[in-house]
Structure 1
Amino acid sequence: MARPDAVGENMSFLLAELDGQLTRLVSYMQDPGAETAMQLVQRAGYSNNLSARVRKACLAGMMRSKQPEAARLRLQGIDTIARNLDLISRLGRRAVEHAERAERQKLLRTDTYVAPVKLVRKTIARIPEAMETSDSKLAVEIGKSRGQLGVFHDRLFRTYTRDMQGTKHVEDLAHGLLTLNEVFRMGEALSGISEALLSINIGQVVQFDRYFTLRSVLGGGKRDEEVRLQPLAETRSGSAISSVNLRNAKGETVAAVFKDGDRRKVKQERVGVKSWNSVYPGLAPEILSYERHGKSAALLIEHLEGETFEDIVLGGSDDALARAQKALHKTVGDIWRQTRTDEPSEMKSMAQLSGRMKDVYRLHHRFAQGRKSVNGTKIPSFDDLIAMAARREEKIIAPFSVYIHGDFNLDNVIYDAVGKKIRFIDLHRSRYMDYVQDVSVFMVSNYRLQVLDRGTRARISRVATDMHAMAGKFARRHKDPTFEYRLALGLARSFASSTRFVVDKGHARRMILRARFILESALAVPEGKEARFKLPMGMLFSD
């Protein structure tokens, strides 16, 4: 797709201007002089204005209605390239300013900077070709220049610090270190340009290191254009989830899901999927490929047909929702029965909540209120309630364990209406534990949906209370007398901790007040009488 004229023209001018500036920077490093330095510093406005023009044109293009996603991503990438080109210009000027402050410039060994600055200039000259041809290999080569500048940095850094020992000219060498840092940071800018080019090519924002993981997990296609991703979601931990179409051995197009991110979290996801396929086959997607690269890793997993439970709750018909609920309750109950062990389990919901309250208070400062007194009656703070409930929770242990999802939110459950099957995704927290953990998370993930119309809120309430009814029936059949009490603590945890994901102050306040009400109600129960405790679920999940 052709770029708008204003973008292409100003990008060409910006690249030409930067080439001139880097040429002057090479000349300065070969023979430092105030006149060359002044010529370079005086060009500041040129590159800045051209970068601003490119970004303005990109923004105008992105604001146009009915803009294809690929075109929008391309303009976003070009904007990033322009920002980093302007950054390289500023770094070059600052390098000269630091060098000029040194009284004894010979100590700086400026001639050693010639090769790395020439490398930066040569690398930037390859950007137009990389943009026009969508050549990911060339984009990768641009990013690799950061490593070469890193080698230069480390070598000269050792030289400067060695020279600092036993010399009176430490200040001059300090200016040398600052000069070195500015040139080294040009590599970071080139890495940012490389990432922008790769993101344009594959159809999703991607980090430089993760690109290699992507290539590995997809089998290293022979041609760069074979790697095309369609973004599906972004997790709070920074993992990216995308759909990708591949060709199998028969030449048929096969849909798959690509997930990459922090190596530890992706590994946990892989272990979770494999565990589910061992414990309860058919529930989790199959792993097609797994690769590690540095600190990142990626999974290629089976594409699951169907809709998330969240989509069904918010947009499905009443009949579709009823069928999905029936399948979910049947599947969950069957999992609990098949994986049940006699090993007692602790949920430790108050310990979980205590660890998350700093994040809650960071977003909702008003929730962090201390103890109060009204007409002589002392009212404990929310943190006090958590501490008191934690002591009560230590004495109430689930009589058995089951294998749980661990992050049983609505958007982690998929229902295939054609096959009438429930499938689970995002399984990095799966383990044997108290089933109340999943029940409480599922119920509150309904309530926290930020939908205001009365009809949808009523549906949300029914889905949550229906799950409670199903779980309560299971508890009675399996002689679990403290189910309701443990569930109360789990709900309090989920209501309160979920507010860190809810910006709407009114909705967050309703959730924290519910958490407080539940904790106060649970703490009012005499010790030893927990089995008699009941919560007004209909009231809690209605607005």
Structure 2
Amino acid sequence: MIVHEGIEENLRFLILEVRKQVEKTRKFLARPSRKLLDSVRAKDDYIDNLKSIIQRKCFKHAVRDTKLQQAEIDLLKAIEIVAVNLERVADFSENIIGQAGYVIDHDVLDVYDFDPMLEVVIRALDAVADAVFQQDVQVALSVCRAEDELDRLYAQVFHRVLDDMKAGGEPQSLVTVLFIYRYLERMGDSLLNMGEAVISAAMGERIKIDRFWALEDSLDNANLDEMKENLRNVALRPMGETKSGCRISSVQNEKTGGRAVIFKEGKLGKLLDEKRSIEQWHELVPGLAPRIHSFHHQGENGSILFEYLPGRTFEEIIMRQEVPRIESALSDICAVLQEVWTRTRDDKPVPAGFMKQMRARLGDVYQLHPSFRQEAWHVDGLRFNALEDLVEQAFALEEKYLRPPFSVFIHGDFNIDNILYDAEQKAVHFIDLHRSRFTDYL
């Protein structure tokens, strides 16, 4: 992809200058000198100006050139993010040299080896240009991995410094050494930002590295080799975010085409609930819920790769105001509901717990409608209870008397944006199913 306005040349110069700053920092830590100190500080304004030039050109190019494709705009955004983070790396280099002036016991700079972390930074900087201008996801990943490596090295040094302090080492010098290593570790954060920016531009959606690993593992577990082996050609397209905070994207190999899949990522608990619910839907009413290609979890987060279901949400159909299509969709949805309720009916009553839900959400209700929070009051001797009292009374009545005679398997979040309708196939599908359960059909 061609980058106009001299942006590529400017960014390559910026990478070169920042690399020089890191190299000078390495030399300074090995043998401190006033000459190196002045040389690093003298380049600060130049690097800052070069970053500003790149930012200005990117913004100007994005605004003025109306013929730019979205992929070109995404690349300009990535270049701007890379430039900002390169300047931060240069600032950290200057911070490190400034910190060295607080060292009292200069032998400490010989005892601690800063080279391993500096080498990781330099190696990553050398990969930035290829990652950006070739939009090479694998090279961008190598830049991202520098952050993990720097974190690992910093953790080792951190414990060593603490041990040396306990052993009676000179405190000010050791604290200063720790600050120096901390600045090197923060360079890793900037490198991670650069790598993520390039990956996001290549894939068409802002993506953090943890989410990328989850996607890669999900594709691997789903045996979708064509996508996994050609991640450079895989495009992510945002499809929204659920109320529970899950992010949803379509995933497709743009070069070869083929059918897309849906990637959903969020908190593990919610996605485990959805996985179990979908599996239950497949047992009870096959074909109504999407098929799961793979499920992946790491720590507190999880991800699901679904089949892509054709059609529109019922909400979209209504908003288009095409009455015949609305009537057709509504008729088919009602028929599906009747089938679901008939097929899943269980004579065992399961209380819905409406007032239990209301009681749990009363705090949120008051935040949105503060006028609802009122004390009980009297009118001509007649008492009107406060909302909390009414909820408690209704809760007691529901628990004691309101038992449904039977239960059915419900969607659980049956909003019109969670119903898909394929007009060509006259097919109805349910999505976002983490609250599905047997309960009162009302």
Q: TM-score range by the shorter chain?
A: 0.7 to 0.9
Other-structure match for 1:36: 36
From 289, 310, 319, give the equivalent of 1:305.
310
1:107–1:172: 8 Å Cα contact kept in structure 2? yes
- In structure 1, stretches of 5+ residues that fail to align are 437-543
Find the aligned partners of 2:8 and 2:363 in 1 and give their Cα distance.
47
Matched, 1:340 2:345: yes
Other-structure match for 1:165: 166
Find the aligned partners of 1:385 and 1:89 in 2 and give their Cα distance.
63
Give the AA of the match of 1:330.
A
Task: Describe how 1:188-337 pairs up with structure 2 within 5 A.
Answer: 188-218=189-219, 219-220=224-225, 221-245=228-252, 253-292=258-297, 296-337=301-342
CA shift in 2, pair 1:28/1:399, >3 Å: farther
Displacement after TM superposition at 1:375 (Å): 7.9
- In structure 2, stretches of 5+ residues that fail to align are none
Matched, 1:410 2:411: no
1:305–1:416: 8 Å Cα contact kept in structure 2? yes
How many corresponding residue pairs?
432
CA shift in 2, pair 1:6/1:233, >3 Å: farther
CA shift in 2, pair 1:8/1:369, >3 Å: farther
Please state whether the residue corresponding to 1:345 is helix, strand or coil. Answer: coil
Find the aligned partners of 2:30 and 2:301 in 1 and give their Cα distance.
41
Give the AA of the match of 1:235.
T
Give the AA of the match of 2:58.
C
From 416, 419, 422, give the equivalent of 2:425.
419
Please state whether the residue corresponding to 2:238 is helix, strand or coil. Answer: strand
Other-structure match for 1:4: 4
CA shift in 2, pair 1:382/1:187, >3 Å: farther
Displacement after TM superposition at 1:32 (Å): 3.1
Displacement after TM superposition at 1:372 (Å): 7.7
- String of CA shifts for 1:410-468, please: whole Å, max 9, x gaps: 211011111212111111221212323xxxxxxxxxxxxxxxxxxxxxxxxxxxxxxxx
Matched, 1:428 2:437: no
- String of CA shifts for 1:382-412, please: whole Å, max 9, x gaps: 5555455444443333332211112222211
Find the aligned partners of 1:8 and 1:368 in 2 and give their Cα distance.
59
CA shift in 2, pair 1:125/1:355, >3 Å: farther
1:212–1:293: 8 Å Cα contact kept in structure 2? no
Find the aligned partners of 2:101 and 2:384 in 1 and give their Cα distance.
65
1:245–1:255: 8 Å Cα contact kept in structure 2? yes
- Percent same amino acid at aligned positions? 28
Task: Describe how 1:439-518 pairs up with structure 2 within 5 A.
Answer: none
Larger RCO: 1 or 2 (CA < 8 Å, sep 6+):
2
User: More displaced, 349-358 or 152-161?
Assistant: 349-358
Other-structure match for 1:442: none
User: More displaced, 91-100 or 304-313?
Assistant: 91-100
Find the aligned partners of 1:263 and 1:326 in 2 and give their Cα distance.
36
RMSD: 3.1
Other-structure match for 1:17: 17
1:210–1:297: 8 Å Cα contact kept in structure 2? no
TM-score of the two chains, using structure 1 as the length reference: 0.71
From 398, 407, 415, give the equivalent of 2:404.
398
Please state whether the residue corresponding to 2:237 is helix, strand or coil. Answer: strand
Please state whether the residue corresponding to 2:83 is helix, strand or coil. Answer: helix
Matched, 1:84 2:85: yes
1:99–1:175: 8 Å Cα contact kept in structure 2? yes
Give the AA of the match of 1:416.
D
Displacement after TM superposition at 1:180 (Å): 1.9
User: More displaced, 211-220 or 382-391?
Assistant: 382-391
Matched, 1:136 2:141: no
Find the aligned partners of 1:385 and 1:45 in 2 and give their Cα distance.
67
CA shift in 2, pair 1:152/1:388, >3 Å: same
- String of CA shifts for 1:45-72, please: whole Å, max 9, x gaps: 3333333333333333444546432223
Displacement after TM superposition at 1:278 (Å): 0.8
- String of CA shifts for 1:172-192, please: whole Å, max 9, x gaps: 322332222221121122122
2:28–2:37: 8 Å Cα contact kept in structure 1? yes
Task: Describe how 1:353-392 pairs up with structure 2 within 5 A.
Answer: 353-356=358-361, 358=363, 364=368, 366=370, 369=373, 371=375, 385-392=390-397
1:342–1:401: 8 Å Cα contact kept in structure 2? yes
Please state whether the residue corresponding to 1:112 is helix, strand or coil. Answer: coil
TM-score of the two chains, using structure 2 as the length reference: 0.86
CA shift in 2, pair 1:106/1:383, >3 Å: farther
Please state whether the residue corresponding to 1:101 is helix, strand or coil. Answer: coil
Find the aligned partners of 1:255 and 1:370 in 2 and give their Cα distance.
52
2:366–2:373: 8 Å Cα contact kept in structure 1? no
Displacement after TM superposition at 1:42 (Å): 4.6
- String of CA shifts for 1:481-506, please: whole Å, max 9, x gaps: xxxxxxxxxxxxxxxxxxxxxxxxxx
CA shift in 2, pair 1:70/1:391, >3 Å: farther
- String of CA shifts for 1:19-45, please: whole Å, max 9, x gaps: 121122112221234553454345433
Find the aligned partners of 2:427 and 2:209 in 1 and give their Cα distance.
38
Please state whether the residue corresponding to 2:249 is helix, strand or coil. Answer: strand
Give the AA of the match of 2:73.
R
Displacement after TM superposition at 1:369 (Å): 4.8
Please state whether the residue corresponding to 1:228 is helix, strand or coil. Answer: strand
Find the aligned partners of 2:359 and 2:11 in 1 and give their Cα distance.
51
Give the AA of the match of 1:230.
R
Give the AA of the match of 1:254.
R
Find the aligned partners of 1:207 and 1:357 in 2 and give their Cα distance.
35
